[in-house]
Amino acid sequence: MRQFTLPDLGEGLEEAEIVSWYVGEGDHVVTDQPLVSVETDKAVVEIPSPSSGRIARVFGAKGDIVKVGAPLVEFAEGAEQDTGTIVGELGGGEHLPAAGMPSGPPTAPRVFPAVRALARKLDVDLESVEPTGPGGTITRADVERAAKSLSQAGDAEPLRGMRRAMAQRMATAHAQVVPATVTDEADIDDWPTGEDVTIRLVRAIAAACTTEPALNAWYNAGAGERRLMARVDLGIAVDTEGGLIVPVLRNVAARSVSDLRVGLDRLRADAMARSIPPEELRGATITLSNFGMIGGRFANLIIVPPQTAIIGAGRISPGVVAHRGQPAVRRTLPLSLTFDHRVVTGGEAARFLVALKSDLEQMS
């Protein structure tokens, strides 16, 4: 009997959720035949069999969370030693930090025995109760208030898949990054009718990275090292029903407008279908969130390490601005630039934003 374990899924991921099994106990499989599909924070990934043989046992059911290195199947015969398959080939230096919650338990609030008994009776988790008593004590009123809120809320459900990973990644980013945000507006009233807003943003970001390369960089906080990236591999935030997915549009500075649009359409379609290959989610050097397509003007965005910057584009709207020395109603595009102030200076960020705005305000 030999076991095949959940392989390394890349990007520092430590676990995945089982979506569906393609095999059952007693089935005979061949090398590279899909065994099971699992959901990571970004995509659904099929795990292939490392060898041929008969499945003696499967571990886990749909919805279970499986840790990397935990057994998936056990072979009865014809299976070779598991060598630690890696799903999706990783390029050199494209590992992101493992996502995890901040360590260090908080100070526990004081709870008197009678209040603890009341919480058990009302099925209230004391960890979710905000203490209002002296010295951080949880009172009867605190427990009763929490119980009333719970009775008016829906059933509790665990975070899974993309949403669970989002919580972990955002907590990690919050613990590591020192963010600062600068904003401005680009006057785009002279754009030709039907201009492709996203592609214009992509091209302008590439131009700004040439002017100020410090924002197209990775920062390794553990080693205290910054790496300026030679090309712009732009992460494009895509809003899907299951959560945010950020596929990577490669080498945007060297591609034509038509090629960028074809590539972007393909990435969006794959992201919406949850079929995007893992390698197309890795290695972004800077990120664009065009949230204005949904709503909002400015935002303090979240940088995911090791990147050092993210650009936000808000909702385009008409406004009164100074134009050639006179007030005029013009269409403007709000811009937000959030940068990691540990490694990017305020001057570098401001110059990047000026270059971004200048490129966008050109007629074509």
What's at 183, amino acid-wise? T
Token pair in block for residue 325: 């020395």
CA-closest candidate to residue 310, choices 283, 293, 327, 288: 288
Read off the pLDDT band of 107 (50, 70, 90). low
pLDDT at 265: 95
For 199-227, write each residue's pLDDT tens digit: 999 999 999 999 999 999 999 998 999 99
Average pLDDT on 331-344 reads 97
Distance from CA of residue 75 to its chain's centroid?
35
pLDDT at 274: 84
For 24-79, write each residue's pLDDT tens digit: 999 999 888 889 988 876 677 888 888 889 999 999 998 899 988 999 999 986 54
**To which H or E segment does residue 319 belong?**
strand 317-323
* Mean pLDDT score across all residues of the chain: 86
pLDDT at 332: 97
Domain with CATH 3.30.559.10 in the chain: 177-360
For 269-283, write each residue's pLDDT tens digit: 998 888 888 889 999
Q: How far apart are CA 88 and CA 99, in angstroms?
A: 18
User: Does 105 or 76 have the greater pLDDT score?
Assistant: 76
Distances 39 to 19, 60, 66, 205, 251 between C-alpha atoms, Å = 6, 14, 10, 31, 28
Q: How far apart are CA 247 and CA 236, in angstroms?
A: 6
Average pLDDT on 318-326 reads 93
Q: How far apart are CA 255 and CA 301, in angstroms?
A: 27
pLDDT at 78: 52
Average pLDDT on 339-362 reads 97
Average pLDDT on 167-188 reads 93
* pLDDT at 84 exceeding the cut of 60: no
* pLDDT at 116 exceeding the cut of 50: yes
Helix (H, G, I), strand (E, B) or coil at 53: strand
For 229-265, write each residue's pLDDT tens digit: 999 999 999 998 878 899 999 999 999 999 999 999 9
* pLDDT at 103 exceeding the cut of 80: no
Read off the pLDDT band of 289 (50, 70, 90). very high
Note the CATH number of domain 2-77: 2.40.50.100
User: Does 126 or 181 have the greater pLDDT score?
Assistant: 181
Q: Which of 153-157, 231-235, 344-348 has the lowest mean pLDDT?
A: 153-157
pLDDT at 362: 94
pLDDT at 96: 33
Domain with CATH 2.40.50.100 in the chain: 2-77
* Other CB atoms within 10 A of residue 133 CB: 16
List residues bridging with 326 in a β-sheet: 323
Token pair in block for residue 224: 């205290």
Domain with CATH 4.10.320.10 in the chain: 110-151
What's at 9, amino acid-wise? L
* pLDDT at 153 exceeding the cut of 90: no
pLDDT at 10: 65
Average pLDDT on 92-117 reads 54
pLDDT at 327: 96
pLDDT at 148: 87
CB 102 within 8 A of CB 23: no
Token pair in block for residue 50: 């490392």
Domain 177-360: CATH superfamily, name plus number: Chloramphenicol acetyltransferase-like domain (3.30.559.10)
Residues in CB range of 238: below 8 A, 6 or more apart: 244, 245, 246, 247, 267, 268, 271, 272
Provide the CATH topology of domain 110-151: Dihydrolipoamide Transferase (4.10.320)
Helix (H, G, I), strand (E, B) or coil at 227: strand
Residues in CB range of 286: below 8 A, 6 or more apart: 205, 209, 215, 216, 232, 233, 234, 235, 307, 308, 309, 310, 311
CA-closest candidate to residue 13, choices 35, 33, 39: 39
pLDDT at 275: 87
pLDDT at 204: 98
**To which H or E segment does residue 320 belong?**
strand 317-323
pLDDT at 80: 46
- Give me Rg for the CA atoms of the chain: 25
